[in-house]
Amino acid sequence: MPFYTFRCLSCNQEQEVLQKIDEPEPVCERCVNASCGVHIVEMERVFKVNAKPHSKDGSWDFKKDKPK
């Protein structure tokens, strides 16, 4: 499952969430707690243009593979 970035439309807080693509958008816990559960705010998915794939072991680091 991939990480997706979501932004709350009320408070503009961004959050990375690990979820399947067909799952519903997460709810902003900050706004729900502030409104005592009366106002439930769904977050919208943010598409970042500059996102690069990365891995912990560096196996996706394409700069290492290029000859100098």
- Per-residue pLDDT of 8-59, as tens digits, reads 988 999 988 888 888 998 998 888 888 876 777 889 988 876 555 555 565 5
Show the domain range for 20.
Answer: 3-50
Q: With respect to residue 63, please indicate whether it lies within any of the assigned structural domains.
A: no
Q: With respect to residue 15, please indicate whether it lies within any of the assigned structural domains.
A: yes
Contact yes or no for 27/43 (Cβ under 8 A):
yes
How far apart CA 61 and CA 52 sit, in angstroms, is 10
Q: With respect to residue 57, please indicate whether it lies within any of the assigned structural domains.
A: no
Q: With respect to residue 60, please indicate whether it lies within any of the assigned structural domains.
A: no
pLDDT given at position 60: 57
Q: With respect to residue 68, please indicate whether it lies within any of the assigned structural domains.
A: no
Q: What is the pTM of this model?
A: 0.61
**Domain total in the chain:** 1
Contact yes or no for 13/7 (Cβ under 8 A):
yes
How far apart CA 8 and CA 64 sit, in angstroms, is 37
